[in-house]
Structure formats: structure tokens, C-alpha cells
Chains A and B, each alone.
Chain A
Amino acid sequence: MATSALEHVHAPAAPKTGLWSWITTVDHKRIGILYGASAFAFLLIGGLEALLIRWQLRIPENNFLSAETYNQLFTMHGTTMIFLGVMPLSAMFFNYLIPLMIGARDVAFPRLNAFSYWVFILGGLFMNFSFLVNAAPNAGWFGYANLTSKQFSPGLNVDFWVIGLQILGIASLAAAVNFLVTIVNFRAPGMKMMRMPMFVWMSLITQVLLLLAFPVITVALVFLMLDRVFGTGFYVPAVGGDPILWQHLFWIFGHPEVYILILPPFGIVSEILPVFSRKPLFGYAAMVFSGTFIAFLGFGVWSHHMFATGMGPVADSVFSLTTMLIAVPTGVKIFNWIGTIWGGSLQMKTPMYFALGFIALFIIGGLSGVMHASPPADLQQTDTYFVVAHFHYVLFGGSIFALLAGAYYWWPKMFGYMLDEGIGKLHFWVAFISMNLTFFPMHFVGLHGMPRRTYTYPAGLGFDWLNMLQTIGSLILGVSFLIFLWNIIRSYRGRAANPAPADPWNGATLEWSIPSPPQEWNFAELPEVHGRDPLWDLKRARGGPLPEPPLVSGQGIHLPNPSYWPAVTAIGVGVVLIGFMAGGVVVNLIGVAILFFGAFRWAFEPAG
């Protein structure tokens, strides 16, 4: 064995440090951490926007915010949380975990991976830059035509949104190609498709959704940009254009997008529940096929977002039926999770708390979601706080809780120290209670008829105190994130006393077989897989825990070279698109020049 000679002969190589090493990195773990840190910062910004919204709504006829500022805040809150918060947090887990879970040394295209990150961060900063010039997007996160037309939105606000989203779309598409190829082609020997960890399966399905949904919104945004920049009439009724076309294109993207937001969290929870129940995942194949079925049906339900446009009885009925149908595979998943913990020997650690909280809250959000499948009921709920309650239960109670579960679960692997259990549980309870305090009253407020996206409301309509309750809840929810930060900082300071072993939770998947944090090359020796829970198989065969894996020198392991060309190319992409908003064709051409220069240097430099 070549590797036995590798060990101990050379001292373990020290990891590279410094800002330049981060800019040129092509290591999927570092790119994952970059994604995570950036997304968490955006998540806090989006949270701050939410708190400002809640502060405005705490009492009737408040004038804390102007209507215009309010419009900007709810638009940026939605856009930020979806495109700069939840999606890149999932991308962090894709980056960090997919290669580790399938037993690979990196993703298929390490430099493309770096490119995705740099395009993403550019798009995120660009969109938020709009606040500094007092022109933040203000037409809602789904930017309905013709609110977004030049006639009704003459400022730069909508331009920031259109161009920012297109930049972000390029990042998502590049990453999706990369992860799909990685999962299909870079699995360790013996890891058949039906042996992959469930997180990897859900990631794979998410990449397919990204690949098929993002081109559609790209086209929708291109039309909008052309309408605004050149004066075409794609969404302009005066020349025969149809604003409803925007809604169709947007939601053909937009509904798969909600599964893009929730399937990776499904995968995270499907990893955590078995480990803390000491049982293999119940109904593995059913989980895979229900996930696939959700993705497939996800492209056939988009018009349930549009019942209020009056599509007629046939379209209403079809989309109503497909929407009810998609609840079935989702229900299958929930039963399988419950089946996994049923009769298990539950280890009540913080990740498990968040995973169980996820199940409870996601069910509530799922049930109100099924109500929207009925067109007559939906007509009563459209654009009220009832809808806001629904999607916060699935996005906050669902996605964010699962992402937090994942953060607590994989933190020791990523950073080499344990997070504090006591503070973690405090974090959970504060978040769980305040989450319900914030969002549950929205159901009632919505059914009472309070419209979303309206900056204030008159007194005496029966929901004054409920709004105050929501605001109090949201402030406590904000505190829960401070508790999380406190946990990170405190645990980091005490990391010497709490180093993470390679396998702190008695895990089942390959990432727990290597040191925490992993060395640059992940696996000194590529693992061989014989089942769905490779580590449990090994432990069972050994009759006990595995020995702590040694750090090796890495001598002789070939790694891709660092490169700054992905970052240069990313800047080119940004400049091309920004030219449509400011500076005109000269800027476009400068961008094209940078893009081609970067891409050619990238293509012809030695990859390593």
C-alpha cells in the first residue's frame, strides 16, 4: 500500500494561510467556508431588514418607516433570504460535504467552484450596494410586471434587482453543473447510487432543479432588462405584451425554487435523525424516489401561485390537483423520518433538537400549504399574512432550522472543536418558541384580512395586539441568533478544552472517518464502500469505535493548483451585466474583454 509509506515519514503539512490563499483557493472545504460565512452575514442583514419591518408594524398607523423604505425592506428581505441566505447556506453544505460524503478529494471542477463563489459574492454585494445609493429594489421579491416597468419604476431600484439576480443565477448554474458531475462521477469505489448518503441524493436532485429552473428566470429577467434598457414591450400591455407572461416564467422557476430551498435541508435532516436515533434511515429507497417525484412534480404546479389571475376552471383544476398530489411524496418523507426515530435509542443532542423542531414546524407549514391548493380558499388567502405565515413556517421552521441542525452537526468536522451543548439547547428553545410567537399569529391576522406588503394598517381591525405579539416574537428571534454567535465565540475560545474527535457523534458516513478538520486532500487513502452506512459497517465489523485517524504529510498526493483566474473571470461577468445599468456599451465591452481574458488564462494555465 502506497499510503502506509506516506504516513509518519514527513511531518503533517501546515495548512496555507493568509488572504491571498483564500482568494486563490480551489479547495472545496475553504470555498464552502467562504460560502457559509458570506451567507450567514447576508442572513443577518436580511434578519435586520425583517426586524425593521416588524418594528414598523408593531402598532397601527406607525410612521417609523416611509412606505417607500418599507417597500425596499420587504423586497430586499425576501430576495436576500432566498438568494443570499438559504441558497448559499445550502451551497456551503454542498461544497463542504459532497466530496467528503462520496469519498472524493475535491469537486469535479475546483476552479469552476471558486468561480461560482466569486460570482455569487459579487452579485450579493452588488444587490446590497443599492442601499448605499438609496435605490434598493422595491417591487417585491417576485417583481411582478408591470410594477417593474420603466413607466412605473423609473429609478435604478429594479435595475439593481434584475442585474443582481442574473449575476447570482450564473453562480448557481455553474455550481449546479459542477456538483452534478461530482456526484455522478466522483464517487468512491463501491458507492453505488443507491448507497449514497441521503444528503447527497437530495443535493443531486437540487442540482437538477437548479439546472432546469434557472434558465427560465434568466430569460424572464432578460426580457425585463430589455424592456427597461431598450424599450421592448415583452411585459408592456400598451404594445400588446402580457404582464402575465412574467408570472408564468417567474413561477416556472419560482416553484422549483422552493424545492431548491427545502430539498437540501431534507437531506441534512435525513443524515442527522438516523445518527441520533442509532438506526439506519427508514425507507431509504422511498426517500430517494419521493425526492425525485417532488422534483418532477415541482415543475407542474407553478400556476397555484397565480389562481388570482383568473386562469379559468380547467387550469385551476389541473394545478389544484398537481399541488395536492405533491403533498403525497412530502408526506412520505415525513412518515419516513418519524419511522427513523420510532423505537430508536434517541441521543438528545443539539442537532437532534433542531432536526425534530424542523419536522414539527415543517408539518405546520406543509398543512397551510395544502390549503393553498384549493383555488377558492387560495383566493381568500392570496396576498394576506396567511401566505406569509405559510412560507415562513416552511422556510424558517423548515429550511433554517434544518440548516442550523446541520451547522451544529458538522461544526466539529469543519472547525475541529465542539459547540457548547448547553448554549445550543438554549438557542434551540429560544428560536423555537420565538419562531412560533412571530409567525403563528400571522395565520389569524391573514384570515382577518391583513394584506402583506402594506406599510401600515388602521387601528381597531382586531389584530393590533397580534401584530405587537409578532414584533415581540421577532425581537426574541433576533436574540436567538445572538445566542448562536455567542456559542460560536465562546466555544472557539474554549476550543483547547473541547477539541473535536474525528467522529464525535458516532456517525455513519465517510466524512467522520477522517480528522476534524479534514486535511486538504480529505482522504489520504480513497475509501471503499460496501453499504449505505459505511462507517457503521466498519465499526460493527471491528466491534467498537474506530481508532482516531492519523494526520499524514500528504506527500505524493496530487492537488489542483490555486488560481486567481476564476475571480478575474467572475469580475468580467459582473462588469458585462452592470454595463446594462450604468456606463452602457463601453462597460459591456470592457466586461467581455475581462471575461475572455480571464477565461482564456484559466483554460490554458496548468490545472495541477
Chain B
Amino acid sequence: MSHADAHALHPPTSTGLDTRKLAIWTFIGSECLFFASLISTYLVYHGKSLVGPLPHDASQCLLDGRMQECEAVFEIPLVTFGTAVLLFSSFFVVMALNGAQTGNRKKLIGWLSATVIGGLFFVGMQVYEFYHFYHKGLGYTTNLFSASFYTLTGFHGTHVTLGVIWLATVLVLAIRGKLPPEKAMNLELAALYWHFVDVVWIVIFPVVYLMR
């Protein structure tokens, strides 16, 4: 009893699971439906655009005020590289977490920095991609493909950005020496979210970029 009193705020949980970790998992479950709705919409409108530009094929599109032949917008090599960087950053954050749990500060800070840089690279890749597509004539409201593509990948990019801010905040804590092993959960929560953002991209990449 006195034990429970002493730990009134953080009593031993009924399941033994960490409460914050359970909350993140619950939130991720909810996010799955969020992205499922966005991806379904992209698929429903796949091939339904009335004008170009289109993702994989040349098409007729309105560019510079007149209808003309437009090239396909996607450039698979660039996004493949970005995908690889994002996936590797998931590995980096696992190494960083190991560093945090074992009290290896160098390992923690090094790998966590790499994770943040990887995330930033991915966001930068996406900004470059959007900019590039826009100049190929693919504005936000150009056609159904552009609206559903920018909305889906834009929301994913926003998630990556939030993940980067979260991880960077933890990195600052780590550099200030405020992430001892007993507080490694602070990194693990961000890492769980980061893995989820990666997993969503693993679905988006083939569905959006590879599937014709």
C-alpha cells in the first residue's frame, strides 16, 4: 500500500507496459486510418485526371496558357534515394536508442544527429520535388492526381517534419546531458513515431511512385 502511495503518479501499470508508450501505440493505430483514407483516395482517383501532367505518362496539359504535350512528372531515382535515406534513418535511431539505454553518450548523440540529418534530407528532397513538379506544370489544383498526390505526400512530409522537430528536441536534451539511461523512454517514444512515419512511406512509395 505504501508502495502505491509513494508512486501515486506513476503506479506500476496494470499491464506492465509503459503508459506513454501505450499512448504512442494507440495514437499510431489512429494514424493508420488517417493515412489509409488518404492513400485510398489517391488510388480511387488514380487515372481519373482529365488533364495532365500525369505521374508516369506524357499527356496533354495546359502550360503557359496553351494546351501542349507534357512529360511525365515522376523521377524515380531521386525519390528512391530519399526513400533509402529515410529507411536508414530508422536504423540510425535504433542505434541512438541503444546508446541512450546503455549510457553511451557519444553513440547517442552521433546516431541521433545522423537521424535528424536523414530526416531533414528527406524533407529537403520532398521540397525540391514539389518545386520541380510545379515547374513541370503540376500545380496543386491542376488535376485530381496533383491534388491527391500533394495532399498525401504533403501530410506525410508534415509528419516527417514534426518527427524531425521532436527528435531534434531530444537531441538538444541529450547534448545538455539530460537524457540519462533511465530517461531513454523520452527517445524511444520519438523513435516509435519515427518508425511509423517510415512504415507509412514504405506503403506510399510503391503505391504512388512504382505502381502504374
**Are B31 and A2 in contact, with the CB atoms below 8 A?**
no
**Are B34 and A219 in contact, with the CB atoms below 8 A?**
yes
Give the distance in Å from the alpha carbon of A181 to the alpha carbon of B44 in the complex. 35
Of residues 29 through 63 on chain B, the ones whose CB sits less than 8 Å from some CB of chain A are 29-31, 33-34, 37-38, 41, 44-45, 48-50
B27 — nearest CB in chain A belongs to which residue? Answer: A177
Give the distance in Å from the alpha carbon of A261 to the alpha carbon of B2 in the complex. 40
**Are B30 and A214 in contact, with the CB atoms below 8 A?**
yes
Given contact pairs A177-B27, A557-B5, A220 touches B14 in the complex (Cβ within 8 A) = no
Judged by a CB distance under 8 angstroms, whether B211 is at the interface is no
Judged by a CB distance under 8 angstroms, whether B101 is at the interface is no
Give the distance in Å from the alpha carbon of A105 to the alpha carbon of B22 in the complex. 19
**Are B22 and A185 in contact, with the CB atoms below 8 A?**
yes
Judged by a CB distance under 8 angstroms, whether B148 is at the interface is yes
Q: Give 1 or 0 for each of B121-145: 1 = CB within 8 Å of chain A CB.
A: 0000000000000000000110110
Give the distance in Å from the alpha carbon of A608 to the alpha carbon of B37 in the complex. 39
Residue among A2, A233, A245 having the largest count of chain B Cβ atoms under 10 Å = A233
Shortest B137–chain A CB gap in Å is 15
Judged by a CB distance under 8 angstroms, whether A222 is at the interface is yes
**Are A181 and B14 in contact, with the CB atoms below 8 A?**
no
Shortest A518–chain B CB gap in Å is 15
**Are A181 and B30 in contact, with the CB atoms below 8 A?**
no
From B9, B22, B37, B50, A219 is in contact (CB under 8 Å) with: B37
Judged by a CB distance under 8 angstroms, whether B77 is at the interface is no
**Are A108 and B30 in contact, with the CB atoms below 8 A?**
no
**Are B2 and A1 in contact, with the CB atoms below 8 A?**
yes
Given contact pairs A234-B147, A239-B50, A185 touches B27 in the complex (Cβ within 8 A) = no
Which of A123-131, A223-231, A323-331, A491-499 interfaces with chain B? A223-231
Judged by a CB distance under 8 angstroms, whether A63 is at the interface is no
Judged by a CB distance under 8 angstroms, whether A218 is at the interface is yes
Given contact pairs A215-B33, A222-B151, A233-B147, A186 touches B13 in the complex (Cβ within 8 A) = yes
**Are A556 and B33 in contact, with the CB atoms below 8 A?**
no
Of residues 510 through 552 on chain A, the ones whose CB sits less than 8 Å from some CB of chain B are 521, 525-526
Shortest A498–chain B CB gap in Å is 33
Q: How many pairs, one residue from A and one from B, have CB atoms within 8 Å of each other in the complex?
A: 120
**Are B141 and A233 in contact, with the CB atoms below 8 A?**
yes
Q: Which residues of the partner chain A approach B45 to less than 8 Å between Cβ atoms?
A: 240-242
Q: Give 1 or 0 for each of A225-260: 1 = CB within 8 Å of chain B CB.
A: 010001111100001111001000100100000000
A191 — nearest CB in chain B belongs to which residue? Answer: B14
Shortest B130–chain A CB gap in Å is 14
Given contact pairs A185-B19, A234-B148, A240 touches B49 in the complex (Cβ within 8 A) = yes
Residue among B6, B19, B147 having the largest count of chain A Cβ atoms under 10 Å = B147
From B14, B19, B48, B140, A232 is in contact (CB under 8 Å) with: B140
Give the distance in Å from the alpha carbon of A186 to the alpha carbon of B15 in the complex. 9
**Are A557 and B44 in contact, with the CB atoms below 8 A?**
no
Shortest B45–chain A CB gap in Å is 7
Judged by a CB distance under 8 angstroms, whether A109 is at the interface is yes
**Are B144 and A231 in contact, with the CB atoms below 8 A?**
no
**Are B9 and A185 in contact, with the CB atoms below 8 A?**
no
Q: Give 1 or 0 for each of B169-198: 1 = CB within 8 Å of chain A CB.
A: 100000000000000000000000000000
Give the distance in Å from the alpha carbon of A1 to the alpha carbon of B9 in the complex. 19
Judged by a CB distance under 8 angstroms, whether B23 is at the interface is yes
Q: Which residues of the partner chain A approach B22 to less than 8 Å between Cβ atoms?
A: 181, 184-185
**Are A558 and B9 in contact, with the CB atoms below 8 A?**
yes
From A187, A213, A241, B14 is in contact (CB under 8 Å) with: A187
A234 — nearest CB in chain B belongs to which residue? Answer: B147
Shortest B203–chain A CB gap in Å is 15
A526 — nearest CB in chain B belongs to which residue? Answer: B4
Give the distance in Å from the alpha carbon of A232 to the alpha carbon of B169 in the complex. 35
Given contact pairs A231-B141, A234-B41, A525 touches B1 in the complex (Cβ within 8 A) = yes
Q: Which residues of the partner chain B approach A109 to less than 8 Å between Cβ atoms?
A: 19, 23
**Are B14 and A3 in contact, with the CB atoms below 8 A?**
no
Shortest A172–chain B CB gap in Å is 10
**Are A1 and B1 in contact, with the CB atoms below 8 A?**
yes
Given contact pairs A1-B2, A185-B15, A226-B151, A239 touches B144 in the complex (Cβ within 8 A) = yes
Give the distance in Å from the alpha carbon of A470 to the alpha carbon of B19 in the complex. 51
**Are A556 and B5 in contact, with the CB atoms below 8 A?**
yes
Judged by a CB distance under 8 angstroms, whether A57 is at the interface is no
Q: Which residues of the partner chain B approach A231 to less than 8 Å between Cβ atoms?
A: 141
**Are B33 and A216 in contact, with the CB atoms below 8 A?**
yes
A110 — nearest CB in chain B belongs to which residue? Answer: B9
**Are A608 and B9 in contact, with the CB atoms below 8 A?**
yes
Give the distance in Å from the alpha carbon of A3 to the alpha carbon of B11 in the complex. 16
Q: Which residues of the partner chain A approach B50 to less than 8 Å between Cβ atoms?
A: 239-240
Give the distance in Å from the alpha carbon of A111 to the alpha carbon of B17 in the complex. 20
**Are A232 and B141 in contact, with the CB atoms below 8 A?**
yes
Judged by a CB distance under 8 angstroms, whether A407 is at the interface is no
**Are A215 and B144 in contact, with the CB atoms below 8 A?**
no
Instruction: List residues of chain A with CB under 8 Å of any chain B CB.
Output: 1-3, 105, 108-109, 173, 176-178, 180-181, 184-187, 191, 211-216, 218-220, 222-223, 226, 230-234, 239-242, 245, 249, 252, 521, 525-526, 556-560, 600, 607-608
9 A-B residue contacts at CB 8 Å? A108-B23, A176-B26, A177-B30, A185-B14, A212-B30, A212-B33, A219-B41, A240-B144, A245-B44
Instruction: List residues of chain B with CB under 8 Å of any chain A CB.
Output: 1-2, 4-6, 8-9, 11, 13-15, 17, 19, 22-23, 26-27, 29-31, 33-34, 37-38, 41, 44-45, 48-50, 140-141, 143-144, 147-148, 151, 169
Instruction: Given contacts A219-B37, A230-B141, A240-B48, list 12 more A-B pairs with CB under 8 A.
Output: A109-B19, A177-B23, A184-B14, A184-B15, A185-B15, A185-B19, A186-B11, A216-B33, A226-B151, A233-B141, A242-B44, A525-B1
Top 7 A-B pairs ranked by shortest CB distance?
A215-B34, A2-B2, A219-B37, A232-B147, A185-B13, A215-B33, A211-B30
